[in-house]
Structure 1
Amino acid sequence: MGDSEGHIDFQLYRYTPSVAAAVIFIVLFLLTTAFHLYQLIKCRAWYFSAFVLGGILYRFTPFKRSSFYLHPPLYAASIYMVLGRLILYLRAESFSIVPLKWMTGIFVTGDVIAFVMQAAGGGIMASGTITAMKTGEHITIGGLCVQLVFFSFFLITSVVFHKRIRLQPTRQTIDAREVQGLHVMRSWESVLWGLYLSSILILIRSVFRLIEYAQGNDGYLISHEAFMYVFDSTLMFFAMVAINVFHPSVILSQGDKGGAATHSKL
């Protein structure tokens, strides 16, 4: 069954990786990442650098399973920062259930913890022994749980803020709506909808990964490549496209005082 080092039935892949699928997703991520890079440079949206890095990381490592759970925390880091900047832009700090001065620190800290745990778990699993595999899986599962908790709390924070500011619009909100007119795709609310859509896709992906690793190296999900492409690659691609469409730079990179204050304080 095995040897003293515990090399028992460990397989990095329990299927033959599809070259065609990998190439397709490399091209898809190349396109959306290139557009993100264009948006970042054109609008000087440097707070979105981690998001672009996540797309680049996926693009260059299509066959390495460890890469698939390292890029979502990079997406999350940028998404967290956008909410804080948007709240400051709208002068609506009192509507947030998390004090603005702590918001970025709290969510990014949780994101870093999740990132480190998942990276460490992947590194440990790469040794190929059963003992290391089990330890790595447990650490990875812990990292995914941390990510789910913080992302869920982030969504709650976003929805509560959105509900409150719609009920009691600030002067900045009213002014922004008047300036934006019928441009519903270029408004502070479109930024929030982009964050919601991207966040929900990342949450679904994290739940899938949690179940996958909970089943172990010989589980059903990890043994079938199609699940990885449907519940990881496809979801992350659409998460990137959602932000392409509802990019925060349409609001946060405009030459206004709110945007300037955002850049200086967050």
Structure 2
Amino acid sequence: MAESGLQPYKGGYYLWKYIPSLAAAVIFTLLFLAATVLHSWRLYKTRLWLGIWFAIGGLMEFIGYAARCSASSNTGKLMPFIIQNTFLLLPPVLFAASVYMTLGRIIRSVPAGERYSLVRTTWLTRVFVAGDVVSFCIQGGAAGLMATGGGKAVVGEKIIIGGLMVQVIMFGLFVMTAGVFHWRYERHAVGAVAYRGGGSREGLLVLYGVSGLIMVRSVFRVAEFAMGQDGYPLMHEWTLYVFDSVLMLAAMVVFYVWHPSKLEESTTRGRIDSGLISVSFFLCN
């Protein structure tokens, strides 16, 4: 039975299982707006374009929560539901792109770093971001189906689960790649000044932390969609804020406090990779 006060969309189909909290949506709209402004300012100051994905992802989070503000009094309207559903689902994929690029920057910032990497730095970013683009396209293409109800909504959920699983698998491989490089460099080149004092070791720890936040969020989303429309996560709003909103805001804050601009390396490759990734996301859409 639908919660009292909910408005049906068409044919008695309810887009929402609860009335979205206006207070919570306003708070996170403002928080993500602040985080996005800070990342955009850092991007302008440093011209380090790998950070653009955090700025774009933060903007999407802001739009998503703004749509939830509108949806709190318009639960029967389709557009606010689609916007918040899509714009809150996709930002972690963009955050991941910056994380992948940062590992390549860390490896290039230390003496003979590529010698200890499982994947050549010329391919590292492209391989992982290629998986990211696939995940982005799958999730983005299926997000709108969930608003149609009936069989299409079920199909949309299954497709999104597939996209999220791609993201989880790629993140698992990424963490393994970062861990192997970390272990090898600690063992064989621990005396390197650029590694110990240049921010590379700290940067790796930050990448583990941000990756962990995105991984937990992605696993939660897999469970959310796997349990279906009548599952506990989609029936209770607090799960979204605890296992998605807070984690993604924390990821933005951590990446801002420790920023890859602290690393010293040639930025030419970073610009090339950023351009290639931009083209990939554009073609995907």
TMscore range, shorter length: 0.7 to 0.9
User: In the TM superposition, what whole-angstrom CA distance separates every residue of 1:167-214 from its partner, at most 9, and x where no partner exists?
Assistant: 12278x424545x5xxxxxx1122112111111000000000000000
In 2: Cα distance, 1:48 partner to 1:247 partner? 8
Residue of structure 2 equivalent to 1:259: 266
* 1:8–1:129 contact (8 Å) kept in structure 2: no
Residue of structure 1 equivalent to 2:27: 24
In 2: Cα distance, 1:196 partner to 1:11 partner? 39
Residue of structure 1 equivalent to 2:87: 67
Structure 1 residues 82-97: aligned runs within 5 Å: 82-90=102-110, 91-97=112-118
Residue of structure 2 equivalent to 1:231: 243
Q: Tell me the amino acid that sits aligned with residue 128 of structure 2.
A: F
TM-score by length of 2: 0.81
- Post-superposition offset of 1:227: 0.3
User: In the TM superposition, what whole-angstrom CA distance separates every residue of 1:117-137 from its partner, at most 9, and x where no partner exists?
Assistant: 1111112222x2311111101
- Post-superposition offset of 1:99: 2.1
Residue of structure 2 equivalent to 1:80: 100
* 1:92–1:170 contact (8 Å) kept in structure 2: no
Residue of structure 2 equivalent to 1:41: 44
1:117 counterpart = 2:138 = yes
Residue of structure 2 equivalent to 1:183: none
Residue of structure 2 equivalent to 1:51: 54
* 2:50–2:98 contact (8 Å) kept in structure 1: yes
- Post-superposition offset of 1:26: 1.0
Structure 1 residues 235-250: aligned runs within 5 Å: 235-250=247-262
User: In the TM superposition, what whole-angstrom CA distance separates every residue of 1:56-90 from its partner, at most 9, and x where no partner exists?
Assistant: 11101212122211111010011111111211121
In 1: Cα distance, 2:43 partner to 2:242 partner? 28
Residue 54 and residue 148 in structure 1: after superposition, are their counterparts in 2 closer, same or farther (change >3 A)?
A: same
What number of residue pairs does the alignment pair up? Answer: 246
**4+ residue runs over 6 A deviation:** none
Q: Percent identity?
A: 40
Q: Tell me the amino acid that sits aligned with residue 54 of structure 2.
A: F
- Post-superposition offset of 1:264: 6.4
Unpaired runs of at least 5, structure 1: 1-6, 181-186
In 2: Cα distance, 1:39 partner to 1:29 partner? 15
Residue 175 and residue 67 in structure 1: after superposition, are their counterparts in 2 closer, same or farther (change >3 A)?
A: closer
Q: Tell me the amino acid that sits aligned with residue 208 of structure 1.
A: F
User: Could you say what secondary structure the match of 1:81 adopts?
Assistant: helix
- The answer to which structure, 1 or 2, has the higher relative contact order (CA under 8 A, 6+ apart) is 1
* 1:11–1:217 contact (8 Å) kept in structure 2: no
In 1: Cα distance, 2:226 partner to 2:106 partner? 37
In 2: Cα distance, 1:17 partner to 1:122 partner? 18
Q: Tell me the amino acid that sits aligned with residue 174 of structure 1.
A: V
